[in-house]
Amino acid sequence: MSDSALPTPRLPDAGSIIDGAVVPALDGATRDVHDPATGTTLLAVAEGGRAEGAAAVAAARRAFDAGGWSGSSPQARARTLERVADLLARDAERFAHLETLDTGKPSSESRDDLVQVEAVFRYYAALLRTQTGDVNPVPAGALSLTLHRPAGVVVMITPWNYPLLQASWKVAPGLASGCCFVLKPSELTPLTTLALGALLLEAGVPPGVANVVTGAGGQLGSALVNDERIDMISFTGGLATGRGIARSAADRAVKVALELGGKNPNIVLADADLDVAVDRALDAVFFHAGQVCSAGSRLLVDDAVHDEVVEALIERVARIRVGFGWEEGTEMGPLISHEHRDKVEGYVALAQEEGAELRLGGRRPQNARFSQGSFLEPTILTGLPPEGRVAREEIFGPVLTVERFSGLDEALARANATDTGLAAAIWTRDVGTALAAAGRLRFGTVWWNDFHPYFPEAPWGGFKTSGVGRELGRTGLREYQEEQHVYLNLRPRLGGAFGMRERP
């Protein structure tokens, strides 16, 4: 398929979804959503602000307090989640096309995302059906129960790199728990989130339970997280914004869950299967053009095999096919915007100033058909000093830095020498070495002889400044619940402690 044959899936309605209705911005304002591969306008969506945020929170608050969804049975909520999954399977190709147009990622990646999104809704439906509380040991004649209640009204803010997937990680457990929510996607990539909002209504989610509002973070996002009527904030995005949200939540004692990215080391020991390690190292950093919070952008290689690994990397990376996401055979698409590309190019320049050597890439493709998009060639840098900024800061682009180390202790010390702690990997044939290393790596996920796999059943989140709380797994459900202790006195009787005797 050529770039002139751009697929045109059915676009979502352009307004926010508030209390079950599609509504334009109150002042009529809109924002153009652009295809990062071509620069063309895909849709002009409503540009909501404080008024739209307040209306959405009010709808969610009414729905929650009325108890129709929050008070429904777990079985009923599970059936609704299963219907959502069925509808996602029905519309998978449409959603995948929208995601590719919105983010620029290859269609193969978008289709994989849809498989995972459907799986998340089915997982939480199954978990909801089997969830139990606890009976606590207490004296005879009483019963003490620990039950799980919905957290309440939740503000969910998602990033631009995985709009639909990240929304599912919040929406599925939030709905399963009985919460009502206001979901704000990134203003850069709102299409699949708006389509999801409509699909939730089709699946039978009651009006007011699931609200989707579009607009900028500075106006709409700020209004949402500071609204006195909310009970919880779930945010995925940058550290600076996350810290501001955490301060706001702390001021009002509001529950908060944060996923804030990482600088993720990929460690290759000398005894590793180098062919597989090189292959997976490419997937670790060039998947979705490196715009992944868990991207393995920092490759640490044992000195004994460093040169061999670098040469193999250069050979493979030189053959990566950059192109439009909807074209068959495209392996890597554009970055999300020209502004973001400028930022990534700045890191490439900074790395060279810090002493690194540019071995491949680092420039914009010369093909004229890519001139309107935000493309950047896959890039390899070697000789990066471990004390420099580029070794410690998240690049969020198709840039692989390779460092030498001598011995496992040095590798682990370098890996841990960042403020973040989301994910790490280690390559070795020795499982004992891998397990010992995992115990010393301060990261929420540690992979052995692999990179990037995750599952709905396993928790996702990080140490240090990578965030607070976890998504996915049983823990991901608990984030949207409050524990309640219910005490039942089965044999009430007079205690006789106060006022039972006559005054002297």
Q: Which residues are catalytic?
A: 259, 293
Surface-to-core class of residue 489, CB atoms within 10 Å of its CB (0-12 exposed, 13-18 middle, 19+ buried): exposed
User: In sequence order, what DSSP letters do the residues of 82-121 get, joined into one string?
Assistant: HHHHHHHHHTHHHHHHHHHHHH---HHHHHHHHHHHHHHH
Residues 6 or more apart in contact with residue 339 via CB below 8 angstroms = none
> Is 266 in contact with 425 (CB distance < 8 Å)?
yes
> Is 264 in contact with 298 (CB distance < 8 Å)?
yes
Give the N- to C-terminal CA distance of the chain in Å, as an integer: 99
Question: What's the token pair of residue 109?
Answer: 């990646």
Closest CA to 192 of 322, 43, 19, 6: 43
Query: Which residues, listed in sequence order, are joined to residue 142 by a DSSP beta bridge?
Result: 489
Interatomic CA distance for residues 309 and 268, integer angstroms = 9
State the DSSP code for 4. Answer: G
- Look at the alpha carbons of 489, 491, 494, 496 in this order and tell me if their dihedral is positive or negative: negative
> Strands 420-421 and 463-464, how do they pair?
antiparallel
- Look at the alpha carbons of 116, 105, 332, 235 in this order and tell me if their dihedral is positive or negative: negative
- Look at the alpha carbons of 436, 437, 441, 444 in this order and tell me if their dihedral is positive or negative: negative
> Is 450 in contact with 471 (CB distance < 8 Å)?
no
